[in-house]
A and B are shown apart, each in its own frame.
Chain A
Amino acid sequence: MIRIDCPICGPRAETEFTYGADATVQRPAMDEGKVQPWLDYVFNRNNPRGAHREYWHHVQGCRQWVVLERNTLTHEIGSCRLARDVEGQEETQGAEA
């Protein structure tokens, strides 16, 4: 039972959350017209062994999306921050391919 320290609700059991997505990828800008950035965003992922960042959704709590540091090998949980507070997740502006 992984314990996740939600910034709003405090330490909660993992069963209150739903795993969302890989938080190390950037969503391309809405006006990105090339296909490859979208293919990469939707389909291609690294599969790191060790420290990783993920989006989790506190569905049975505050319903905020959080960015969770989790070790994919040991399940050790690192920081848990509100997604809205994490810099650099906004769409990349006018991205190249």
Chain B
Amino acid sequence: MKRLATGGRIDRSKPLAVSFEGQELQAYQGDTLSSAMLAGGVSLVGRSFKYHRPRGIYSAGVEEPGALVHLRDGDRHEPNARATVTEAFDGLVSTGQNAWPSLKFDVSAVNNWASPFLSAGFYYKTFIGPFKHSTRFWMMCETFIRKSAGMGRATYLNDPDHYEKRNAFCDVLVIGGGVSGLSAALAAGRTGAQVMLVEQDFELGGAVLNDPVGREGDAWVAAATDELNGLSNVRILTRTTAFGAYDGDTYGLIERVSDHLKAPENHQVRQRYWQVHAKRCVMASGAIERPLVFGGNDKPGVMLAGAARSYLNRFAVLPGQEVLVATNNDSAYAAAADLARAGATVTVADMRAQVADATQEIATKAGATVLSAHGVLETRGSRRVKSAHVVPIDAQGRATGTGRNLPVDLIAVSGGWAPAVHIWSQRYGKPVFDEASAAFIAPDDASKTLQPAGTAAAAATLNDVIAQGFEQGTVAAKSAGFDAGFGERSESYPTGPFWQSGYLPLWAVFDANGKTKGKAFVDFQHDVKISDIDQAHLEGYVSVEHLKRYTTLGMATDQGKLSNINALNRMAELRGKPIEQIGTTTFRPPFTPIAMGSVVGHEHGRHFRPTRLSPIHHWHVEHGAKMTEAGAWMRPWYYPKGTEDLRAAYIREAGHVREHVGMVDVSTLGKIAVQGPDAAEFLNRVYVNGWKTLAVGRLRYGVMLREDGFVMDDGATARLGENDYFMSTTTANAAKVLAFAEHLLQTAWKDLRVHVTTVTDQWAAIAVAGPNARDLLSKVSDADLSREALPNNHFTHAVIDGVDVRIHRMSYSGELAYEVYIPSGFARHVWQALYAAGADFNLKPYGTESMGALRIEKGHVAGPELEGRTSMKDLGLEGFASFKKPFVGSVLRKRPVLEDPARPVLVGLEIEGPTGAKPGSLLFPEAGEAKGHGDGWVSSTTYSSALGRNIAMGLLKNGQDRKGEVIRVVNFVGNETLKAKVVSHHFFDPEGVRQNG
């Protein structure tokens, strides 16, 4: 292996510092990491997944199965990077992966020797302990099997780069910047249609880049590129992979904006995700060469013939000195000839008995030797190929003689070519087998908006490639409404051995008994041998989908790009069926791996979803509140005094409310305006209780069920006017309740004259609670808040410091309490007015934690009790339900399963001891084994400053009959057991004396 002094498409005036495993490699602008590795004599690049066999460079493209490296270090570290498509850049640092302690001496290579125990589906068969009902042995093995799973290691550091998402719309999207793609883009671009041409390589030209520099292909590509660059309606994106084709003519592209640099420059993004909406698409994605299967075909030193030619002609690297070209078709002869002319000793082992003279001359004229009806039975060499055992073969690929051992350092194989139909297949399903080209291609169907062209459609000659590209570009532009200006189709080229002319469907070599020698691999990354496929078939896995999953063939990071076709061929042979009846597995996006960050774009961290702030938010922060997340909202959690922790703060705050007065920001509550002549009827239907008698100026607590009879939400609704109601919901369920209401009104209840409108953000709300609440509010407002003028469940309009507000008398805390509703623009102003006036009444703000403590002391249900598994009956709320009218859920709530007396019901728990109960803890009787789900669970928990003890609310079987009983509260996760006495959940002031004051 060596770099040639001249030739290639690299720029020798721009050397780059590139390293692998600490070894400096000579690289130039235009190199990939793999070409630099070959130039530097690197043959061992990685280790395979299961057997940890040595892996080298097998290809020159995205299909690479073995040359996977750790790329970059620190926070830009990336595992499983394919060296073959990594553009070399100055300062590139890479190391080997999946090997310990080093690539050269990998301890896990012992797996190679243990391979009989690691065959297909081994985890279903081996490592199962001798004990029938025990999994102990497996669990022990599992720990080290798990450690060895995977290939490269990811970093735990945050990605320092940023990524962007873009939408784009075009008439024609052309995937692939090779000859057919350029033709398509020309045809469509000349008409004036909006065209996007994407190419995953950093250069346009496709297969032309693998020809020696200066041939007609270069001139053609240059002319096409110039013309396209001159068209303002054509956008060309290189370094861009089309990874997915989706419904609605949507395509996903990843543009690698800065991957070819050490770090993004000028605050540029690292990668850009394009979501393209294209009226039509031309898939000019080319074809991928197929491997041949023989013993030891996975070792460094074996590579695709097309790749060998690419390294020679594009990167000026001679990948071997003593070369064997093994082939079953004509296309490899170009590689043989080019390598021979570059100074290598080349032998061609052609598996075909008849090879046309014209074809042979291509190789022999360049100085190579041709052996027809010969194949490679096995390679020799441990960490790389040292020699090839070449044998004469019959028409079934079986050895007919002893052959000889040929010393080689490179075996260039060609088993034919497989059109890259992945993108088409993602949209339209399975490709079909075409006899003429002996390949799976997209079936002819002009109705589809995505059409293949070129070698992706099995075009047989270069002329066909150009013609197909041009034709599809024309068709696409026409469908998008562009009818003229297509211009001339390009000149014709002399036909040479192209892609798979002369293909013989013989792709594996066997000994005289029909067995492969040594380990003959079909999937190089996941180490699936031909014998594994045979074994899977023997065990009954005869469907191609089962074969894939049982053997893991095609499931590695290369997604079977090199293994699928050969595996299907083997399966066809085993099942005695033609391959077209076997079919392929389903192709799914992404075509090649994409970084998580690229599709996330900027939507992560605080940008994952919007943050909703109360209009009073900043006052809380300025006054030292610790904030907490409640869904998308930020809410004040507690206001610590000095060095108070959460517990000290909330206990103090709750006690203060009960003794003096406190105020809490409850602006996040859901609020819905229900308006119209049928508003009361609507409320009657959605709530369990009645609304027709609610007078203007009054409000009422309501419970809402789901259609299946479980409790969905609760809240209070006030009647503001004859046809005007103000409904409130819990913070968490606001959107759900509104959507539910809109759905019913627009479908089943179209006759109701009601509008529902969200006013959550239009109204702020402050709860003022405590013995001094009335006096405080009377001072700041002009309203008559006396007990007679404003009893519970009434509201009044008022003015606070010039702002029109409503004051609702309703208590969540169980204290004398009011909720002040303020147009949100004035919320902070009113809060500050209350705060200032509150100085005389010992007013303190309180947060959600103490708000929770207060309502738990009262036994009010909230989110933890309304969690979707509880019925009204469970919660002791069935008294609210009306008997006079039906409501949502009224029939299904009476299902036997919801009336079962054994259902857990809401109780209170007085916890013994200084530790509080953890929500979710399970409840068990005091005696007996604490096993299984127990008799219930803890839903809400707090320390009650009013009672001086820890308390909790929970659901307990037969709870109504167990008051006074001592039970166990078991936290299995935290391994903690407490004792508690079952009591009524109305712990504090059960008569409601305070709130009725």
Q: Which residues of A contact B (CB under 8 A)?
A: 1-3, 14, 18, 20-21, 27, 30-35, 38-39, 41-43, 55, 57, 59, 63-65, 75, 77, 82-84, 89-91
Contact = CB atoms under 8 A, between A and B. Distances in A.
A20 B250 contact: no
Contacts of A3: 248
Contacts of B707: 38, 41-42
Nearest to B739: A57
A35 B247 contact: no
Nearest to B708: A42
Nearest to A31: B886
Interface string B703-739: 0000110000000000000000000000000000001
B582 to A, nearest CB: 23
Nearest to A86: B747
Nearest to A4: B248
Nearest to A35: B891
B69 to A, nearest CB: 35
B691 to A, nearest CB: 14
**Residue among B248, B277, B746 with the most chain A CB within 10 A?**
B746
Interface stretch (B366-374, B630-638, B748-756, B977-985): B748-756
Contacts of A1: 246-248, 250, 275, 277
A65 B750 CA distance: 12
Contacts of B739: 18, 20, 57, 59
B165 interface: no
B248 A2 contact: yes
A27 B751 CA distance: 14
Contact of B746 (A18, A32, A84): A84
B750 A89 contact: yes
**Residue among A34, A57, A64, A65 with the most chain B CB within 10 A?**
A65
Contact of A30 (B685, B742, B892): B685
B743 A55 contact: yes
A35 B886 contact: no
A32 B750 contact: no
A2 B750 CA distance: 28
Nearest to A27: B748
Nearest to A43: B708
Contacts of B886: 30-33
17 contacts: A1-B247, A3-B248, A14-B248, A18-B739, A20-B743, A32-B891, A33-B886, A35-B891, A35-B895, A38-B707, A42-B892, A64-B746, A77-B248, A83-B746, A83-B747, A84-B747, A90-B747
A65 B891 contact: no
**Residue among A18, A38, A41 with the most chain B CB within 10 A?**
A38
A6 to B, nearest CB: 14
B892 A57 contact: no
Contacts of A42: 707-708, 892
Nearest to B887: A30
A49 B163 CA distance: 39
A63 B891 CA distance: 29
Nearest to B743: A65
Contact of A55 (B246, B250, B277, B747): B747
Given A14-B248, A83-B746, A90-B747, 13 more contacts: A1-B247, A20-B739, A20-B743, A27-B748, A33-B886, A34-B891, A35-B894, A38-B891, A42-B708, A42-B892, A65-B747, A75-B248, A83-B747
A83 B248 CA distance: 23
Contacts of B894: 35
B751 A90 contact: yes
Interface of B: 246-248, 250, 275, 277, 685, 707-708, 739, 742-743, 746-751, 886, 891-892, 894-895
Contacts of A55: 743, 747
A5 to B, nearest CB: 11
A75 B247 contact: yes
Contacts of A31: 886
Given A31-B886, A75-B247, A21 B891 contact: no
Contact of A27 (B248, B250, B747): B747
B740 to A, nearest CB: 10
Contacts of A27: 747-748
A18 B894 CA distance: 31
Shortest 7 CB-CB distances between A and B: which pairs?
A1-B250, A27-B748, A65-B746, A83-B746, A75-B247, A3-B248, A38-B891
Contacts of A75: 247-248
A14 to B, nearest CB: 8
Given A30-B886, A90-B751, A21 B743 contact: yes
B895 A89 contact: no
B925 to A, nearest CB: 34
B336 to A, nearest CB: 47
Contacts of B742: 57, 63, 65
A82 B250 CA distance: 26
A38 B709 CA distance: 10
A33 B246 contact: no
B248 A90 contact: no
Contacts of A39: 892
A84 B750 CA distance: 7
A39 to B, nearest CB: 7
A20 B742 CA distance: 11
Contacts of B892: 35, 38-39, 42
A20 to B, nearest CB: 6
Contacts of B250: 1
A57 B895 contact: no
Contacts of B246: 1
A88 B894 CA distance: 28
A18 B740 CA distance: 12
A89 B748 contact: yes
B421 to A, nearest CB: 19
B748 A91 contact: yes
Contacts of A59: 739
Contacts of A84: 746-747, 750
Contacts of A34: 891
A38 B748 CA distance: 14
A29 B96 CA distance: 69
A39 B896 CA distance: 13
B871 to A, nearest CB: 14
A75 B69 CA distance: 39
Contacts of B747: 27, 55, 65, 83-84, 89-90
